[in-house]
Each structure stands twice: as structure tokens, then as C-alpha cells.
């Protein structure tokens, strides 16, 4: 039974002439008319999506462009290779946490513990590796598993006991923060080995120019192959799919962006290892959500829990697994943050980290109401937030103003999300 309603072919129940019915469906489906009408068809399709509230990533992309234009006009150093490279590395820690938040938001729930869990992971690694001399790889794995187990435990209380996710993770925020302070002990700060594995997560760069260009080629090719064969499967199933010309156009646009980024990286220190890991995580998690049965179950729960249960989905296990995933990525993000500051300290996981992670997922396009979003939204959202932070820092503007501006951007995004849902309901698409 297919859960994706937009990709389910019309059934022939109680239809006297199924072939004629299929022909009628194809004739009135605007998505199938695009390829026949050429440019005019694309214009019509764009208008249809706008009227239906299907804005996609357009608002955040336009917003990011405006942010960059404004800060570049205020300070010519903003769009330099060095600053853009620093932004790309700085965003990875929060971005990793935001990836886990995307999974939770798809259920229509929230996880308030991710900031504290990220601090626990960094503290666990520092104590095991630096204080007790444990092998780095083993310490790294155990610290990540700490986040996984903690997330699964919270998911258990939510799914099996019935405690609201907000309450469970709020308690987790306090508990895990206390555990982090206990792990770090009286000193409060443990410095990491500058030449160690975790330290290199954000300090290592592939200086060979071929690395950045190779990644750009790989990303572009993977996108085309995924889109091409995805369209072939949809065509074989008799459901709407993008024409080859649109797939090629999207691939070309992505290729331009990817190679532009490669040029920027090569003008500075080279391709950052942190960016490579982040891009790999985004591809893998996007594949899991969009191309696997598990991903369809996550989207289904975000649409209707009762309908999912009737469809035979193990609701409790999916919920627990999603919170385990959130905890895992919180831990991974915590390790990247510890790498950036080369230490684990009592301030880890605090401040605006939690709000920035949630804001990144929402600003990027993931709905707070569940059922709509992609892990790539985390990339767009965190890029917006970190760009604002770096742009304001270049202007010497204090943190309070940064908080207010970020909050305003988040509010605007949530308003757009709410208006979009109402528009889609009016158009009969929600």
C-alpha cells in the first residue's frame, strides 16, 4: 500500500471503462501537460503551484540571496572566499543537529533536548579519550551511541507511556545538561588533542583543487542519476513525472552552484572535511526519507497517526526510532561543535544552539505541523542563520540584535508555513 498520496495512480474501482478513465485523468492533470506545452506549460505549472501554496524552497533561497546582497553592500569582505569558507564550516555542527530535528518535525513533534545531548556527547568523548586515554575511534562511537540511547529512551516515554514529546524532551534538556556538568567535573573544560580525529573534523582541508571539483562533479551526477531513475519509476507506474528537459535544467543549475562553491573553497584553504561529511549525511538521510519504506512511514505519521496505524505501520517503533535518530545527530553535531572550539566545556549545548537548530529546520522549509520537509532544508536554514550571524559580526553588532533578527526571520518563516497550509487546504491539497 503506497503512503505517498501524490504518487499513487488512480484506481479503477467502480469504473465501467478504466482505459477511458485513465485517459481522462491524464488529460486534466496539469503536471502531465507541462511537457506538451513547452515554456508556456512551465509558466502555467509555476502559477498553479503558487496558487496552491506549494512554494517549496523559493522563499528561503530568495531570502538567502537578499541577506548576502545586503551584507556584501555593507561590508565587501562578506562574500570573500575566506568568510564563505568559514561560514560553511561553522554551520556544520548546528546543521547536523537540525537534520535530526527535521525527522522529529516530520512527525509534527519537537525535541528540546538536542542542545544538551550535543554537550553530553562532546563531554563523553573528551573524558573517554583525553582523561582516560581511550582509543579515539572507540570514544567517538561511544559518544555518538550516547545520543542514540538517550534519544531512544525519550522516544520510549513518548511512544509507549504517552508523555507529550514537549514534556519528555524538556525534562531531557535539564537532565542531560546536568549529566554533562557531572561528566566534566570540577574543571569544567577539557581541551582536545589538536591533531586528533575530532579536532580535524573542522580543521582539516583537502588542499588539492581536484577534491573540491571532484565533489562538485559527484554531487551533480548523483542528483541527475537519482532524478532520472526516479522519473523512470514514476513513468512506469503511470504517475506524473518531470520531463527530461526539466531534470537537465535542474542538474545544470545545481552544477553551477556546486562548481561556484568549489571555486570559492579552492581560493582559500581548500575543501573542508566538515562540508564533505555534511553533504554525505544530507544525501544519505534524504535517500532514507524519500526512497525507503521507513521514510514513507515517517511522512505518513506526520500526516495522520490513526490512518498510519490502520495501514499496519508500527507507530510506536517509528516514533522511538525517530527520536533515536534525533539524539544521534545531536551527538554528531556536538562533536563538530567541540571540534570547532577544540574543547568540551560547561557552556556546550547551551546559549542559542537549540533555538538555532530548530530554526534552521523550519526556516529551511520543514513544516512545524508535520508531514512536509526534507533534510536538505537543514542546509538552507542553517546557511541563512550562520550568514546572518557572520554578517552582523562583521558589522560589529552585538548578540542581542542577532537574536532579535534571527527571531524575526523564524517568525516570518512560521507565518509563511501557516499561510501555505491554509492555501493548500483551500486548494484541496492538504
* 409/222: higher pLDDT: 222
**Contact partners, residue 223, CB within 8 Å, separation at least 6:** 250, 251, 254
Question: What is the pTM (predicted TM-score) of this model?
Answer: 0.85
User: Across residues 76-80, what is the average pLDDT?
Assistant: 93
In this structure, of 21-25, 241-245, 285-289, 349-353, the range with the lowest mean pLDDT score is: 21-25
- Give the pLDDT confidence score for residue 395 in this predicted structure: 86
Q: Give the model confidence (pLDDT) of 35-49 as tens digits.
A: 545 555 556 665 665
- Give the pLDDT confidence score for residue 217 in this predicted structure: 95
Q: Does the pLDDT at position 428 exceed 80?
A: no
- Give the pLDDT confidence score for residue 421 in this predicted structure: 64
Q: Give the model confidence (pLDDT) of 294-308 as tens digits.
A: 999 999 998 888 899
Under the banding of pLDDT at 50, 70 and 90, the label for residue 316 is very high
Q: Does the pLDDT at position 347 exceed 50?
A: yes
Torsion of CA 177, 179, 182, 184, to 10 degrees: -70
Q: Give the model confidence (pLDDT) of 135-169 as tens digits.
A: 999 999 999 999 999 999 999 999 999 999 999 99
Q: Does the pLDDT at position 6 exceed 50?
A: no
Q: Does the pLDDT at position 31 exceed 70?
A: no
Instruction: Give phi and psi for 245, each to the nearest 5.
Output: -60, -40
Q: Does the pLDDT at position 344 exceed 70?
A: yes
- Give the pLDDT confidence score for residue 121 in this predicted structure: 95
Under the banding of pLDDT at 50, 70 and 90, the label for residue 14 is very low
Torsion of CA 38, 40, 41, 44, to 10 degrees: 170
Contact 173, 117 (CB under 8 A): no
The 3-class SS string of 258-303 reads: HHHHHHHHHCCCCEEHHHHHHHHHHHHHHHHHHHCHHHHHHHHHHH
Amino acid at each position: 500500500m503506497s503512503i505517498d498520496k501524490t504518487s499513487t495512480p488512480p484506481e479503477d474501482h467502480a469504473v465501467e471503462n478504466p482505459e477511458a478513465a485513465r485517459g481522462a485523468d491524464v488529460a486534466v492533470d496539469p503536471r502531465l501537460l507541462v511537457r506538451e506545452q513547452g515554456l508556456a506549460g512551465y509558466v502555467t505549472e509555476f502559477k498553479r503551484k503558487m496558487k496552491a501554496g506549494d512554494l517549496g524552497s523559493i522563499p528561503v533561497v530568495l531570502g538567502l540571496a537578499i541577506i548576502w546582497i545586503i551584507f556584501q553592500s555593507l561590508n565587501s569582505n562578506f562574500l570573500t572566499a575566506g568568510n564563505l569558507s568559514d561560514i560553511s564550516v561553522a554551520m556544520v555542527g548546528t546543521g547536523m543537529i537540525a537534520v535530526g530535528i527535521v525527522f522529529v518535525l516530520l512527525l509534527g513533534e519537537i525535541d528540546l533536548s538536542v542542545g544538551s545531548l550535543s554537550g553530553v556527547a562532546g563531554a563523553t568523548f573528551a573524558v573517554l579519550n583525553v582523561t582516560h586515554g581511550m582509543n579515539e575511534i572507540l570514544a567517538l562511537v561511544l559518544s555518538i551511541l550516547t545520543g542514540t540511547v538517550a534519544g531512544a529512551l525519550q522516544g520510549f516515554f513518548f511512544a509507549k507511556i504517552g508523555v507529550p514529546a514537549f514534556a519528555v524532551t524538556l525534562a531531557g534538556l535539564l537532565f542531560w545538561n546536568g549529566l554533562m556538568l557531572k561528566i566534566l567535573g570540577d574543571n569544567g573544560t577539557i581541551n582536545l588533542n589538536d591533531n586528533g580525529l575530532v579536532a580535524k573534523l573542522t580543521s582539516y582541508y583537502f588542499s588539492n583543487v581536484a577534491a573540491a571539483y571532484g565533489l562538485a562533479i559527484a554531487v551533480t551526477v548523483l542528483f541527475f542519476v537519482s532524478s532520472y531513475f526516479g522519473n523512470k519509476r514514476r513513468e512506469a507506474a503511470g504517475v506524473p513525472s518531470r520531463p527530461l528537459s526539466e531534470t537537465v535544467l535542474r542538474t545544470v543549475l545545481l552544477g553551477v552552484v556546486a562548481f561556484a562553491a568549489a571555486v570559492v573553497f579552492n581560493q582559500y584553504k581548500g575543501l573542508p572535511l566538515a562540508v564533505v561529511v555534511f553533504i554525505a549525511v544530507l544525501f544519505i538521510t534524504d535517500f532514507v526519507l524519500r526512497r525507503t519504506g521507513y521514510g514513507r512511514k515517517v511522512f505518513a505519521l506526520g500526516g495522520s497517526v490513526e490512518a498510519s496505524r490502520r495501514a499496519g505501520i508500527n507507530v510506536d517503533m517509528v516514533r522511538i526510532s525517530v527520536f533515536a535518530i534525533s539524539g544521534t545527530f545531536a551527538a554528531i553535531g556536538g562533536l563538530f561543535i567541540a571540534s570547532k572550539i577544540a574543547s568540551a566545556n560547561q557552556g556546550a549545548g547551551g546559549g542559542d544552539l537549540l533555538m538555532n537548530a530548530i530554526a534552521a529546520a523550519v526556516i529551511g522549509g520543514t513544516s512545524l505541523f508535520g508531514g512536509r520537509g526534507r533534510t536538505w532544508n537543514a542546509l538552507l536554514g542553517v546557511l541563512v542563520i550562520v550568514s546572518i550571524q557572520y554578517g552582523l559580526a562583521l558589522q560589529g553588532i552585538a548578540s542581542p540584535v542577532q537574536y532579535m533578527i534571527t527571531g524575526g526571520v523564524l517568525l516570518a518563516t512560521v507565518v509563511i508555513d501557516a499561510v501555505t497550509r491554509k492555501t493548500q487546504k483551500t486548494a484541496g491539497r492538504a
